[in-house]
Amino acid sequence: MKEVFISDISAWAPGIGDEQAKWQDWLDGKTQIEQSKESPKLEYTDPLFRRRLSQITKMTVHVIHNLLEKTNVDKNTKIVFVSLRGEIEREFTINKSLIEEKMILPAAFSLSVFNTPVSSATLAFGLKGGYSVIFPSKNNFADAFKTAVSPVLAGTEEKIIFVYADELVPDYYGDKRPKENIPCAFSFLVNSKENAEKNVEAIKMTANDFDEISVSPVDFLKYILNCFSKDKKR
């Protein structure tokens, strides 16, 4: 049976940050992800680079940074980025400008496209493996995840860096805002081999497990974190 191995998860969300203890409290129902525009500070990047970045891009850059810091992953490893909404706040601003002023600034447009978060990370860290972006239909995270890991299952890639991120949808979207309006980002390695990363915990997922994946990225994050938590308690 086809299988993949997930390791080296990194997550960030407002009110929780990236502290493992706080994520465990979240799993235990002791705290919640805040619906705020809080973003990681990215103090390890150039101030001129980070000052114009949105919440989703800052979160994406941060979780990729944390993954790179704790692994020996090759910078030629391919990245697959998944988002349900992308740069949704910038998109609103640009559309508003088009309607009211009949123009947009090129710099503003370049930071509003769907691949801005992952492309910014590749620039920040000199990543050379290329990337793919996935915008799942009907907000179905499960379909996006299956598509993302398919190169590893097919044997065309030995491993990939998987990244998910979505920012807070602003109030001015009104009743069009999603019910699960939770800003967060997470990343992990997807390997074809269990021991690809030495002395690192890895979760095995088979085709049967894929059928159980929730359409919600937050529920998937809970599932993955719970799997790692159970392994540590054994």
For residue 114, pLDDT over 70 is answered with yes
The tens digit of pLDDT for each residue in 79-105 reads: 999 999 999 988 888 887 788 877 777
CA distance 227 to 221: 10
Q: Which residues contact 39 (CB under 8 A, 6 or more apart)?
A: 14, 53, 55, 58, 59
Q: Tokens for 150?
A: 């398919």
pLDDT at residue 122, as a whole number = 97
Alpha-carbon distance of 23 to 111, in angstroms, equals 30
User: What pLDDT was estimated at residue 179?
Assistant: 85
Please give the structure tokens belonging to residue 160: 């990939």
Number of Cβ within 10 Å of residue 105's Cβ equals: 11
Indicate the length of the chain as a whole number.
234
- The model's pLDDT over 135-175, given as tens digits with 9 standing for 90+, comes to 998 888 999 999 999 999 999 999 999 999 999 998 888 88
Provide φ and ψ at 115, rounded to 5°: -90, 5
Helix ranges restricted to H, 71-157: 88-101, 106-110, 116-125, 141-154
Q: Provide the β-strand partners of residue 3.
A: 206
On whether the CB atoms of residues 15 and 33 are closer than 8 A, the answer is yes
Report the pLDDT value the prediction gives residue 97, as an integer from 0 to 100: 78
Most confident of 53-62, 110-119, 173-182, 189-198: 53-62
40-92 pLDDT, tens digit each: 999 999 999 999 999 999 999 999 999 999 998 999 999 999 999 999 988 88
User: How many CB atoms sit inside 10 A of residue 115's CB?
Assistant: 15
Predicted local confidence at residue 197, as pLDDT: 58
Which residues, in sequence order, are CB contacts of 172 under 8 Å at separation 6+?
92
pLDDT score, position 199: 59
pLDDT tens-digit series, residues 192-207: 987 655 557 888 988 7
What are the structural domain ranges in the chain? Answer: 3-85+114-233
Fold of 3-85+114-233: Peroxisomal Thiolase; Chain A, domain 1 (3.40.47)
Residue type, 142: A
